[in-house]
Structures are given as C-alpha cells and as structure tokens.
Amino acid sequence: MTVAFSMVQAEHTSGHTLMQQPSLALDIANEETVSGVEEQTDGARVGVLLPVPMLGVLDYAVPDHLHMQLTEGAVVEVPLAGRMAVGVVWREGGESLGSLPYYKLKPINRVIDLPVIREDLRRFIDWVSAYTMSSPGPVLRMALSASSALRAVPQRRHYQITAKPQEGVRLTPARKAVLAVLADGKPRVSSEVAGLAGVSEGVVRGLEKAGLLEGLDISVDLPYAQPELARSGPDLSDEQEQAAKSIAAKVWQGGFAPFLLDGITGSGKTEVYFEGLVEALKAPGSQVLVLVPEIALTSQWLERFEARFGVAPVVWHSEVGQAERRRAWRAVADGSARVVVGARSALFLPFQTLSFVVVDEEHDPSFKQEDGVLYHARDMAIVRAKLAACPIVLASATPSLETLVNADEGRYEKLVLRERHGNAVLPAMKAIDMRHEPPEAGTWLSPILVREIETTIAAGEQAMLFLNRRGYAPLTLCRTCGFRIECPSCSAWLVEHRFRRELQCHHCGYVEPIPTSCPECKNEDTLVACGPGVERLFEEVNNRFPAARTSVMTSDTMMSPSATAHMVQQIASGHLDIVIGTQIVTKGYHFPNLTLVGVVDADLGLRGGDLRAGERTYQQLVQVSGRAGRAEKPGRVFLQSYEPEHPVVHALLSGDGDTFMAAEKAARQRHHMPPFGRLVALILSGPEMSDVLDTGRMLANKAPVEHGVDVVGPAPAPMARVRGHHRFRMLVHTRKDIRVQPLIRAWLSRVRPKKGVRVKVDIDPYSFM
C-alpha cells in the first residue's frame, strides 16, 4: 500500500490556511458482507491523486463496471470542480474515519487505457513531495507532463493487398501500378501509395471498394528503433576498462549501487558509462535514463550515442513538441523506449523497468529546479535509483563537494580516470595579471591574450573566449547625471542587447528600446554602456581580427536545439575561427581543433559570493579550460584576473583541484555548512513591502528555538524586487541530524502570512538571490 499524505503546505498564501487532508473513508466495502444487505450500504472507493496543488488524495466512488480495472497506479478520469481531470489511483479503499460518506462521493468517470504508474514512481512522487515540502499534486504533474499522451493516439488508415484476391476484377495499368507498390507487404497510407505509383488516390480507394486492398488503422506514433547491442565500442584503456567493469558488474547484479565517476575532461567518461548501458540493455525490457544538464546542448552526445548504438535515443526535455512527447511518454510507459536522455524532468517519466541511471555533469547548477517544485535532480536521481533498486553513476570532471563527501564517506563507490584519451594532455594554464598587463581603454582583452589569439588563428587553429555575461553591457549609465537604467519592476539593471537594439531585464524579461536621451536629465547622447558582455567582446574581436570568422554562443543566439546543433557543427567542422560564449560553451563539447581558451574575467563568479561561489567558479573554469587541446594538438588556457593569488585561480594554475576542494570541504565543515549541516531558505514575497516584512517578523518571533537550529532574517533579498514583488529571505541553518521538514511545517503552522504574501520553502537552497 502507498503511504497516505498528510497535507504539506509549502507555499501558503494567506487565505489558504493550513489545509487539512480531506479526511478519508472507512474501509473498502467488503462485497461479501455487503451483498444482500439493505440498500444504502457503501460501495468501493479509491483515493485519487490529481496534478493540482493543495489537494492531496481525494476519494472517489468506484462504479461496478470499473471495479476490476482500478488497481493502484491506474490512470483515471474523474470529475473535479465541474470538469474532468486526469489523476492516478493512489490507494485502493478509504483511509480514515470521518471522511465524506460514500453517497457524497463522485464516481470515477473512466479508466484511461495506459499502463499503470508503477509503485516505484508513486513512491518517488511521495518522497519528493515530502522532502521538498511541495504538495504532491505538482509533483505528480511532472510525471503526467505529456497531456497529449493521456489522450488516445490518433490513427491513420494504411492499405495493404487483401489476403484473398477477388476474381474477375478489371486491372487497369494504374491499378497494376498500385498493386506493384504494395507487393512488398508493407502497409502504406494512400497518399504514399499514390505518390509511389504515380496515380491519384482515387485509384487506391477504387481498389479498396473492389476488395483488392484492405485498410487498417495504425497509430501515428511509430515505435522507436531498438539499440544495437552487438556493435562493439572502442578499445578501452586500462583505467577506462576497470571503471567500466565495476559499473557493468553492479548493473548485471542489480540493486541500488551509487557510483561517482570522477574523470578529467576528455578522459572518456561517456565511453565508460556506455558500457554500463550495454550491460543494462542486455536484460530484456530493461530501461536506462541519462540525465544531462541542458539537453539543447547535447547534439554531440546524441551523435555519439547513434554512432555507438545505431539508433537515436529517446529525447525528453521541455522543447520537445506535443506529438513527440506523447510518443516518448507512452513508449517509456510501455517499456519499448529503452534509453531516454533528458533534462531533469525526465526523472518523473513512468518507466516500466528502470535498470540504470546516469547523471552526466553532476556538478551542474542547472540540475536544481528554481521554480515550481524546488528540487535538485541529482539528489532526487539517487532517490529514484534507490526506489527502482538500480545502479546510478554520477559523472563529472569536477564533482560537487556534496558528491565528493558522499564518496569519501563510502556511500558512493568512486571510480577515477586520470588520463585524457589518446595522446591528448590537459592544457597548459596561465594567469594574466590584469594589474600589470591591462587592456587599452575601452577594450577587454589584454595584449598577451590578443597575441595568443593571433598565433592561434594564424596556425589554422581555433580560439574560444569565455565571458559569462549575455548582451552588450551589463549597465547603461548617464555620463551627465549618473542615472542608471533599471528595470521598472525588478531591482536589477537593464542589460543592453545591441544585436536586438534593446534593453532587457534578465529577471522578468522586460524589454524597451535603447533610449537616445537620459530618462532622468533628458540630455541627448549622454548614455554610455559600462562593462563588457559577449556582444561587446564580439565587437572588439571583429575590430582586431576582421578576417577571422567569429561567432557568439549564448542562449540568445542558440534559441533552439537545432540552432545549437548547427553552431556546434560549424565549430567542430572548422567553419569558425573564434567562438565567444557564456557558460553555455562550458558543457561537455569536444572540438578537436580548439587549442586556445581565454577566460576574459576569471574573477567574475567570485564577486558577491555565496556558499558555493568558489566551488562553482572553479568547476566552470575547469570545464571551459577542458575544451582546449582535446585531440592531438596541445591546448593553452589564459585566465585574465585582477586577483591571480585567489585560491580558485591558484588551484586552476597548479592543476591541484584536490587540494582546493579539500580546503573548501574543511571550511564547510568548520562552519557546519552543507553537506555537514543543513540549510533551508524561506523566500517571502508580495506586492506590499510592509506586509512581506511583517510576515517575516512574525515568523522570526515564532521561529523554532531548539539546540542545533539557527534562524536568521528576515533580510531583504539581494534581488529585493522581482516582477514588482518585494522579496525578503530567511535562512534556517541546522545540524545535519535534524529533520528539517517537520520543524518547518510546525513553524509555518504557527504563523498566518499577511494577505498576498507568499512563503516559499527552499530545502537545500543553491540560489541565495
């Protein structure tokens, strides 16, 4: 039986006081005792979870004709507030006393013809809901996130030759041509037959009438091709082989087994976990999930998969269109999709037999979902694998501190790859001390880096410049009055996007044309752009190297997976000389002819730092450096820094990441910070600043007083206003062994937020904005 929820209130707005679990039924009526007794005995009921916030599991009556189909996990259609909604049977029978009497229950409308949602996924949904303190509905919604999959699949009429041909039918040349096309026995739609035979579709219909062809309706969703396991992979090096064997052995054995695959960039981590995949797929019906940080960026991964397995994997992310979503979701549910590669939401797909999970680039910050249900996909992937009882590999060249500590403490088995594949070596790293080698006024590249770019392109090789700032300039300022152009609804500067000729807010998406005069003092031509973004760097590079083929890689220029794939292809095939990019370029790409990486501002990520600023900057710079010299030609990396003595820069130069991470670990340990203690953030927001602050003060007054628990705040959030809402933050810091969810739940129940104030709970926060 599944566990019943107690309603958790993660985001409570005033007006919703803590909702009670709609109290639930008595026992499932026992038909044997019921039959023959008076009229108004109770019938069967089931608890249904709906993908709706704040509802919990609701009881519905089971009509007699559906009785046999209503097992736990069945997908059903039920009436809800005057319309039909799709939900999942979460438990059979009623739960508690005092619930709605049977005669008041609405009946289940129908059972949808889909495989049942299996128990491991149902328990996972319960788990994520309880851990993140989100109500279960929105978590279920992520699992049912292909609304089209829940409707019947459209059919298309195909034609084939009837088994028993009719006698005495006149065969014109056109009819003969049609029969010839269909002679291979493959059913085809009439437009295809007509096209191939060079006749009109009327001929096809005529033959059907004459009884020579028969129509059959086939689902428009074609089955996915199956991976070819007989193909052999590359010869693995000794250390690759060892790691691959450890993984494959656990996959063969089955059961939960977490691995950290810690291998330098270019060491062949993908080849290694592919062996685990092969092992998993040998078992009939088993399925594999590979989570990647940003699916749009994995065109190269997909090509490699195809080269290795002869077919494309099933791809799952938010950009996948409705028809393909339906096809993928259903194929995952019926077990025919064997390998799924996807963004974090793929964790909630309804696998039949999940047998192996990979989280690639496990350190990547984008695994934390920052809206809706606030969960960390890497952490939840571990839970998913545990519930599915299967091995999981977390792969990275720069594992997160959390994962390293899990490995150090023996919870994860650690596999290490120390060498780059083939003759490739890690690039040589140098810092450019910007205090001594400053760029000319109004430019951003120091003379040293400019010379390096020159030599690189002269040698026919490629250079990459990394600057994690979209747009032309982060700030537009009036030279006369000092006015800074801000977003009208956020506490953020508007960022100039010169390619698009507009100012844009990176927090709410607000845009306005670039003004010609200062909005404040009205002077003409006094606005100046301050600081560099990638577009400005592009301008400088074009001025310096007019003959070079230069391109900018950011989320603004790579709006779709196909645009991204095209750009990656352009670089890989040598059609570009210089690539300028944001963090988007740091992710796992392999460009054999790229030999120079220039980090334009190595200090950028360290400013205004939070808990993980050092760790994150280190990971990002190792990853971007890892793009250089991945094939025969050795690579060079230059870090422009005003603070080259900073431990992060030092660690990069010395190549001694282990010492750096050990120091980070010691610091976190000293301050009982994660993973040695726990953090929970409360984000309070609302249209009226005083209401938000008052709510924060009330919360502070009622804060838990307990040994090992500290509460700080309310304090204005660094992003003090977003979309016109004022924001305050509170931070709960506890000892590691304290269960924070009950503590927070009890705390929130003691305070009623002021009208319009939203309290968002972020367990294990990664963003402190």
- Give least dist CB 251 to ligand ADP, A: 18
- Give least dist CB 491 to Zn ion, A: 9
Binding window for ligand ADP (CB under 6 A); candidates: 17-25, 48-56, 117-125, 267-275: 267-275
Q: Where are the beta strands (DSSP E) in 246-385?
A: 257-263, 287-291, 314-316, 339-342, 354-360
User: Does 363 engage in binding with ligand ADP (CB under 6 A)?
Assistant: no
Tell me which DSSP letter residue 376 carries.
B
**Residue 19 CB neighbour total at 10 angstroms:** 14
Nearer to ligand ADP, 161 or 631 (CB): 631
Q: Alpha helix locations (H) across 71-135? A: 119-132
Nearer to Zn ion, 495 or 534 (CB): 495
- Give least dist CB 409 to ligand ADP, A: 25
Binder of residue 507, out of ligand ADP, Zn ion, none (CB less than 5 to 8 A by kind): Zn ion
Distance CA 599, CA 338 (A): 40
User: Residues 584 to 603: which contact ligand ADP by CB under 6 A?
Assistant: 590
H/E element, 212: none
Binder of residue 237, out of ligand ADP, Zn ion, none (CB less than 5 to 8 A by kind): ligand ADP
Binding window for ligand ADP (CB under 6 A); candidates: 71-79, 235-243, 632-640, 734-742: 235-243
Both tokens of residue 358?
């990979």
Ranked by CB distance to ligand ADP, the top (closest) residue is 268
Nearer to Zn ion, 449 or 494 (CB): 494
User: Does 237 engage in binding with ligand ADP (CB under 6 A)?
Assistant: yes
The answer to whether the CB of 100 falls within 8 A of the CB of 61 is: no
- Give least dist CB 258 to ligand ADP, A: 19
Nearer to Zn ion, 454 or 486 (CB): 486
SS (H, E, C) 610-644: CCCHHHHHHHHHHHHHCCCCCCCCCCEEEEEECCC
Nearer to ligand ADP, 424 or 449 (CB): 424
- Give least dist CB 395 to ligand ADP, A: 7
Binder of residue 87, out of ligand ADP, Zn ion, none (CB less than 5 to 8 A by kind): none
Nearer to Zn ion, 244 or 505 (CB): 505
The answer to whether the CB of 129 falls within 8 A of the CB of 2 is: no
Pairing of strands 511-513, 12-13: unpaired
For the beta sheet containing 155-161, the strands, ordered from the edge strand earlier in sequence to the opposite edge, are 188-189, 155-161, 213-219
Q: Which of 9, 240, 298, 355 binds ligand ADP (CB under 6 A)?
A: 240
Nearer to ligand ADP, 627 or 721 (CB): 627
- Give least dist CB 696 to ligand ADP, A: 45
User: Residues 695 to 724: which contact ligand ADP by CB under 6 A?
Assistant: none
Binding window for ligand ADP (CB under 6 A); candidates: 236-244, 406-414, 677-685, 688-696: 236-244
The 245-264 contact track toward ligand ADP, x by CB under 6 A, reads ------------------x-
Pairing of strands 257-263, 391-396: parallel
The answer to whether the CB of 496 falls within 8 A of the CB of 487 is: no
Binder of residue 238, out of Zn ion, ligand ADP, none (CB less than 5 to 8 A by kind): none
Question: In this structure, which amino acid lies at residue 272?
Answer: V
Binder of residue 269, out of ligand ADP, Zn ion, none (CB less than 5 to 8 A by kind): ligand ADP
Question: With CB under 6 A, what is the number of residues at the site for ligand ADP?
Answer: 15
Query: Reduced to 3 states, what is the DSSP secondary structure of residue 295?
Result: helix
**Residue 376 CB neighbour total at 10 angstroms:** 21
Binding window for ligand ADP (CB under 6 A); candidates: 13-21, 103-111, 265-273, 320-328: 265-273
Nearer to ligand ADP, 421 or 758 (CB): 421
Tell me which DSSP letter residue 361 carries.
T
With tokens 């009055």, the residue in question is 481
Distance CA 542, CA 544 (A): 5
Binder of residue 240, out of ligand ADP, Zn ion, none (CB less than 5 to 8 A by kind): ligand ADP
User: Does 73 engage in binding with ligand ADP (CB under 6 A)?
Assistant: no
* Residue 298: partners with Cβ closer than 8 Å, 6 or more residues away: 292, 341, 588
Q: What does the angle CA 640 – CA 646 – CA 648 come to, to the nearest 5 degrees?
A: 85
In residues, how long is the chain?
Answer: 769
Question: Which residues, in sequence order, are bridge partners of residue 49?
Answer: 57, 88
User: Does 234 engage in binding with ligand ADP (CB under 6 A)?
Assistant: yes
- Give least dist CB 419 to ligand ADP, A: 10
The 409-438 contact track toward ligand ADP, x by CB under 6 A, reads ------------x-----------------
Distance CA 278, CA 314 (A): 16
Binding window for ligand ADP (CB under 6 A); candidates: 232-240, 524-532, 566-574, 705-713: 232-240
User: Does 398 engage in binding with ligand ADP (CB under 6 A)?
Assistant: no
- Give least dist CB 401 to ligand ADP, A: 20
Both tokens of residue 723?
């979309």
From first CA to last CA, the distance across the chain in angstroms is 41
Distance CA 486, CA 549 (A): 35
Distance CA 328, CA 336 (A): 9
Binder of residue 234, out of ligand ADP, Zn ion, none (CB less than 5 to 8 A by kind): ligand ADP
Binder of residue 287, out of ligand ADP, Zn ion, none (CB less than 5 to 8 A by kind): none
For the beta sheet containing 709-722, the strands, ordered from the edge strand earlier in sequence to the opposite edge, are 12-13, 758-763, 677-686, 725-735, 709-722
Binder of residue 504, out of Zn ion, ligand ADP, none (CB less than 5 to 8 A by kind): none
Using alpha carbons only, how large is the chain's radius of gyration in Å?
A: 30
The residues that touch Zn ion, with contacts defined as CB under 5 A, are 487, 489-490, 505, 507-508, 510
Binder of residue 263, out of ligand ADP, Zn ion, none (CB less than 5 to 8 A by kind): ligand ADP
H/E element, 734: strand 725-735
Both tokens of residue 142?
């992520």
Q: Which of 271, 294, 402, 577 binds ligand ADP (CB under 6 A)?
A: 271
Binder of residue 718, out of Zn ion, ligand ADP, none (CB less than 5 to 8 A by kind): none
Q: Which of 269, 308, 327, 616 binds ligand ADP (CB under 6 A)?
A: 269
The answer to whether the CB of 685 falls within 8 A of the CB of 726 is: yes
Q: Per the omega criterion (within 30 degrees of 0), is the bond before 714 cis?
A: yes
Residues that bind ligand ADP (CB under 6 A): 234-237, 240, 263, 265-271, 421, 590
